[in-house]
């Protein structure tokens, strides 16, 4: 097993769930990040500012980390730029075609007992595991 | 938009982003290790999703019993019920991209502020992918 971090994972998850619940209670909106971004790419009147502000709010989290620890969180990736571009295109196109990502389907949709979100979540976890298996163990892109 | 609306959007975003940061999901290798059941499996992400669902699965049904949200006049909840090819193909493509890069949309947005060039390259490509979908969508069903 690799760097299992149950406490921070659970606390982070509870915060995500709290934010998604408050989003529904206060604004009546689903906290699905791909949907929030997608709606901003072709906004309708009066619908853009809450999306932009929510995303800006998300980006303040590393600044909180900076104040707390004195440094920004360090994000490292061991995949090539070509693979990153391909994965970005797939995530962008796929989440819009499938109407959601980990947050919209995985956290909010499952909570609404939506059969569509259950199918979507099982599909992206399975295809994600398959992609990692093929890239790491069959082709051997990363160690 | 009122100050109450603007401020709540910002604060909810900050709370959501903090959750992603603390959970470790902003680290693409950690995400890939979660998906790597045949290798260096790290089950942490099941607890991220479990923790989030613990809150939402209890709160959502209670909230949706209300007539309207506190700061708005109606709930914007998806109404589609059909299990179509778009849902499955789209989710499968998303999963492949998620596995290859280790990024999904939320953590990638948070990661932008870490100064990580990988996050930036991913987000730009993701936005391009979303724009490509829009073009594809409009070609198939032209806007009237």
SS3 content of chain B, % helix, strand, coil (to 5): 70, 0, 30
Per-residue pLDDT at A46: 82
Nearest residue on chain A to B35, alpha-carbon basis: A129
Identify which of B95, B109, B118, B106 has the alpha carbon closest to the alpha carbon of residue B32: B95
Q: Is A2–B110 a contact, with Cβ atoms under 8 angstroms apart?
A: no
Identify which of B45, B5, B108, B130 has the alpha carbon closest to the alpha carbon of residue A58: B108
Number of other residues whose CB lies within 10 A of the CB of residue B64: 15
Mutate: best of A23, A58, A108, partner B, most B CBs <10 A: A58
Pick the more confident residue, A1 or B49. Answer: B49
Q: Is A119–B14 a contact, with Cβ atoms under 8 angstroms apart?
A: no
Q: Among partner residues B20, B38, B128, which is closest to A16 by beta-carbon distance?
A: B20
Yes or no: say if A63 and A126 are a contact pair by the CB < 8 Å rule. no
Residues from chain B contacting residue A114 (CB–CB below 8 Å): 78
Per-residue pLDDT at A2: 58
Three-state DSSP at A12 gives helix
Number of other residues whose CB lies within 10 A of the CB of residue A137: 13
Mean predicted confidence (pLDDT) in A130-141:
87
CA distance B144 to chain A (A): 15
Q: Please list the alpha-helical segments (H only) found in B64-144.
A: 85-101, 105-111, 117-140
Q: What is the pLDDT along chain B (144 residues), one digit of tens a residue?
A: 688 889 999 999 999 999 999 999 999 999 999 999 998 899 999 999 999 999 999 999 999 999 999 999 999 999 899 999 999 999 999 999 999 999 999 999 999 999 899 999 999 999 999 999 999 998 988 665
Round to whole Å and give the CA distance between B94 and A91.
4
The residue whose two tokens read 């070609």 is B139
**What tens digit of pLDDT does each residue of A62-82 get?**
999 999 999 999 999 999 999
For residue A22, give every residue at least 6 positions away whose Cβ sits within 8 Å of its Cβ, in sequence order, or none.
B12, B15
Q: Among partner residues B16, B35, B114, which is closest to A74 by beta-carbon distance?
A: B114
């Amino acid at each position: 097993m690799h760097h299992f971090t149950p406490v921070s994972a659970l606390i982070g998850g509870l915060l995500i769930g709290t934010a998604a619940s408050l989003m529904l209670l206060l604004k009546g909106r689903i906290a699905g990040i791909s949907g929030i971004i997608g709606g901003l790419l072709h906004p309708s009147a009066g619908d853009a500012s809450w999306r932009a502000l929510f995303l800006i709010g998300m980006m303040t989290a590393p600044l909180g980390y900076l104040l707390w620890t004195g440094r920004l969180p360090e994000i490292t990736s061991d995949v090539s730029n070509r693979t990153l571009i391909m994965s970005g295109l797939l995530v962008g196109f796929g989440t819009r075609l499938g109407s959601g990502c980990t947050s919209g389907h995985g956290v909010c949709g499952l909570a609404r007992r939506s059969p569509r979100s259950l199918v979507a979540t099982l599909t992206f976890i399975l295809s994600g595991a398959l992609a990692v298996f093929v890239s790491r163990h069959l082709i051997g892109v990363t160690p | 938009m009122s100050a109450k609306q603007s401020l709540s959007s910002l604060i909810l975003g900050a709370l959501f982003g903090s959750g992603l940061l603390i959970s470790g999901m902003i680290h693409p290798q950690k995400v890939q290790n979660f998906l790597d059941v045949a290798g260096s499996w790290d089950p942490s992400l099941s607890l991220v999703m479990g923790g989030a669902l613990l809150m939402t699965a209890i709160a959502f049904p209670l909230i949706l019993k209300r007539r309207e949200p506190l700061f708005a006049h109606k709930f914007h909840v998806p109404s589609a019920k059909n299990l179509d090819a778009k849902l499955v193909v789209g989710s499968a493509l998303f999963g492949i991209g998620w596995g290859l890069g280790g990024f999904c949309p939320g953590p990638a947005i948070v990661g932008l502020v870490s100064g990580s060039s990988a996050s930036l390259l991913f987000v730009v490509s993701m936005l391009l992918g979303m724009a490509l979908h829009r073009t594809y969508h409009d070609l198939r069903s032209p806007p009237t």
